[in-house]
């Protein structure tokens, strides 16, 4: 059975001005998501700035999320690393905390071969029992997990069940869907491609957009599942300007600014991420107003 179906939020990690995690605001964000129909919470991913958290902060953030959610929807923890040993450690600790699944990004900077990727993911999966989604985002990692490798992992490693596909390459996703069939759960990692992914058999999205528009992101998926493909398509197209604005600078700079504009967080970032350029912030605010969330 899939870990979830529909819209999962790649949730931000709110920070205080001094850089500490703002757990009070984090609780409010989690409740906002659940109240608005989000189907899963993905904690400590790219959008959650996990790459600048210490291991202790990373695991504390995961535990806090699990405790607040309290089983109401699945929680998936990002525990990937370019170091296999580190990914094993974080994954085992997250499993002890009680997450429902793990999201493992491909090793970045090292740029492993497909053989190396297979060995890395299998080693991590063998260390835990909970289900795992691979995370293919070559634009950030410099490394593309090929469809053949994803299918091989899903078929040969019991608890590797699918992939968050953020290559942006629809042809590659189609090839993956054709090769993998029911053996690979595919989730869009691109908010602008939710409906195309669903049309290829995808089960949903792991979404940045959902941070600011959880109800709408859920509905894009639900309408498609309910057979209202035209309604789903229309909602996807209506969201495109906002999606483009949310990615006009590197994620999560714009989405944190958006949540700040909504009065939900302080918008603070950890270096090397920096404050959004004024012209881009103006563009984002305009898109949010046009979409009706400001």
Which residues form the catalytic set? 135, 164
Q: How far is CA 245 from CA 135, 218, 277, 281, 285, in A?
A: 23, 20, 12, 9, 9
> Token pair of 114, please?
């497909």
DSSP string, 188-252: ES-GGGHHHHHHTT--EEEESGGGT-HHHHHHHHHHHHTT-HHHHHHHHHHTHHHHHHHTSSSTT
| Radius of gyration, alpha carbons of the chain | 18
Stated as kind and residue range, the H or E segment containing 164 is strand 160-165
**What is the distance between the alpha carbons of residues 191 and 270, in angstroms, rounded to a whole number?**
24
Stated as kind and residue range, the H or E segment containing 135 is strand 132-136
Report yes or no: 146 and 163 within 8 Å, Cβ to Cβ.
no
Chain-centre distance of CA 80, in angstroms?
12
Please, which residues bridge with residue 78 across strands? 103
């Amino acid at each position: 059975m899939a870990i979830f179906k529909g819209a999962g939020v790649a949730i931000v990690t709110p920070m205080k001005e001094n850089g500490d995690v703002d757990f009070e605001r984090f609780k409010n964000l989690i409740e906002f998501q659940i109240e608005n129909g989000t189907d899963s919470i993905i904690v400590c991913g790219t959008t959650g700035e996990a790459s600048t958290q210490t291991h202790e902060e990373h695991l504390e953030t995961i535990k806090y999320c699990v405790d607040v959610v309290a089983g109401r929807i699945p929680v998936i923890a990002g525990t990937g690393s370019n170091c296999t040993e580190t990914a094993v450690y974080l994954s085992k600790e997250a499993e002890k905390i009680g997450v429902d699944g793990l999201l493992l990004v491909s090793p970045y900077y090292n740029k492993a071969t497909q053989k190396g990727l297979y060995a890395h993911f299998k080693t991590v999966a063998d260390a835990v029992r909970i289900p795992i989604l691979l995370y293919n985002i070559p634009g950030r990692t410099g490394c593309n997990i090929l469809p053949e490798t994803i299918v091989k992992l899903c078929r040969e490693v019991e608890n590797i069940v699918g992939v968050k596909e953020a290559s942006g390459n629809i042809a590659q996703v189609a090839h993956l869907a054709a090769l993998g069939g029911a053996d690979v759960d595919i989730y869009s990692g691109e908010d602008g491609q939710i409906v195309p992914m669903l049309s290829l058999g995808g089960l949903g999205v792991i979404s940045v957009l959902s941070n600011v528009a959880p109800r709408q992101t859920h509905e894009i998926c639900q309408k498609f599942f309910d057979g209202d493909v035209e309604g789903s398509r229309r909602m996807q197209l209506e969201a495109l300007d906002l999606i483009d604005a949310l990615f006009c600078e590197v994620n999560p700079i714009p989405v944190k600014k958006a949540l700040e504009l909504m009065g939900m967080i302080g918008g603070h970032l950890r270096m090397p991420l920096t404050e959004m350029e004024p012209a881009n912030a103006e563009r984002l605010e305009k898109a949010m107003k046009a979409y009706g969330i400001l």
